[in-house]
Amino acid sequence: MSYRSGFVALVGKPNVGKSTLVNALVGKKVAITSSKPQTTRQRMLGVLHGDDFQAVLVDTPGMMEPKRKLHQSMIGAATEEAKQADLVLWLVESTHTPTSEDETVANFVAGLAGKQPVWVVLTKTDKSKEGVKEACEALLPAAARIFEVSSLSGDGVAELAAALEESLPEGPPYFPPHQLSEQNDKLWMSEVIREKVLDLTRQEIPHSVAVTIEELREGKKGPDSLYGRAILYVERDSQKGILIGKDGALLKKIGKLSREELEKQWGKSLFLDLWVKVKKDWRDREDWLRYLGYA
């Protein structure tokens, strides 16, 4: 039996459930998730393995109207990944009829349909609304197939995974067995910290924070311990005060939750040293977008 492999790009508007679906398909958390939009800022890969196939799932930033250079970079990353993929999944929430943002994404993927297969995936079907499937069919008549999934309950996920296996082209594996992601430890640590910021802050704060890992090494207690030092960048002095919190309470909570998750994943104790610094308007500075890996 021949081996099948390929890259599958998940595209859609912000907060449509791309990262949650990648995690559900892989069977492990390989991408951070949040109820807030703009959670995914750069491509993240999850690898779905089978006996004779490998699907490389490309979690892309949400497509939206760009208001900052960061947004432009995110949209550019999403469109390029989709253009290069073997298969494109257009994700749409089944909780409401398609929005103008959905229509914009549909117009983009419609231009890809003649070059590579495009499927529609309706997400959050545990809260579905009538007429969404028909509306998506009208927006993207070129779609080869339509799936309905709930990543939280698992409904439809196995069926989608089986369809991916059948539809991938023949090719060699891109990753060794049991490797579920391409993220290195520093990148994953920065993402986990940012996820906690997203969970614990409101308004503009979560979108104004970038995280860099300055140091990650063996801790003082030996090979079963780690020391990590991270800097959380914000754009304003007022944002710095909010992120730190009264007597450092919010920053301590971010550190505690991040440390607990990372210790559980890595099986090692972690001393996590967090600092907050101001880098004015970093989301509109190309030099800082490159430094942070967003451009």
Domain at 137, CATH number:
3.40.50.300
Q: How confident is the model at residue 195 (pLDDT cuts 50, 70, 90)?
A: very high
Strand partners, 31: none
Query: What six digits make up the tokens of 35?
Result: 């109820």
**CA-atom Rg of the chain in angstroms:** 20
Q: Are 19 and 160 in a shared domain?
A: yes
Residue 284 lies in a domain: yes
Of 144, 135, 142, 176, the residue nearest 163 (C-alpha): 144
What percent of the chain has a predicted confidence (pLDDT) above 70? Answer: 100
Q: Are 154 and 202 in a shared domain?
A: no
Q: Are 20 and 117 in a shared domain?
A: yes
Strand partners, 122: 92, 148
Classify residue 259 as exposed, middle or buried by CB count within 10 Å of its CB (0-12, 13-18, 19+). Answer: buried
Q: How far apart are CA 160 and CA 120, in angstroms?
A: 11
Residue 174 lies in a domain: no
pLDDT digits 0-9 by tens, 179-193: 999 999 999 999 999
Q: Are 8 and 144 in a shared domain?
A: yes
Q: Are 135 and 104 in a shared domain?
A: yes
pLDDT of residue 113: 87
> Could you list the residue range(s) of the whole structural domain that residue 214 is in?
185-291
The enclosing domain of 213 has a CATH number of 3.30.300.20
- C-alpha angle 250/264/275, rounded to 5°? 30
Of 268, 269, 282, the residue nearest 240 (C-alpha): 282
pLDDT of residue 108: 96
Q: By the 8 A CB rule, do 62 and 16 touch?
A: yes
Sign of the dihedral defined by the CA atoms of residues 265, 51, 125, 112, in that order: positive
Q: How far apart are CA 279 and CA 210, in angstroms?
A: 10
- Segment 249-277 mean pLDDT: 98
Sign of the dihedral defined by the CA atoms of residues 36, 212, 151, 65, in that order: positive
Q: Are 122 and 265 in a shared domain?
A: no
Of 38, 56, 30, 290, the residue nearest 183 (C-alpha): 30
Of 84, 90, 71, 117, the residue nearest 13 (C-alpha): 90
Which DSSP state fits 181? B
Q: Are 74 and 140 in a shared domain?
A: yes
Residue 175 lies in a domain: no
- Segment 149-177 mean pLDDT: 96
pLDDT digits 0-9 by tens, 40-96: 999 999 999 999 999 999 999 999 999 999 999 999 999 999 999 999 999 999 999
The SS3 call for residue 276 is: strand
Number of domains in the chain: 2
- Segment 230-249 mean pLDDT: 98
Those residues whose C-beta lies under 8 Å from the C-beta of residue 85, and which sit 6 or more positions away, are: 6, 7, 8, 9, 58, 116
Q: Are 143 and 227 in a shared domain?
A: no
Above 90 in pLDDT, residue 1?
no
Q: Provide the CA 148 distance to its chain's centre, in angstroms.
A: 20
pLDDT digits 0-9 by tens, 114-153: 899 999 999 999 999 999 999 999 999 999 999 999 999 9
Q: Terminal CA-to-CA distance of the chain, rounded, Å?
A: 41
Q: How far apart are CA 202 and CA 244, in angstroms?
A: 14
Q: Are 202 and 163 in a shared domain?
A: no
Mean pLDDT of the chain: 96
pLDDT of residue 114: 82
Q: How far apart are CA 137 and CA 248, in angstroms?
A: 51
Q: Provide the CA 133 distance to its chain's centre, in angstroms.
A: 24
Above 80 in pLDDT, residue 213?
yes
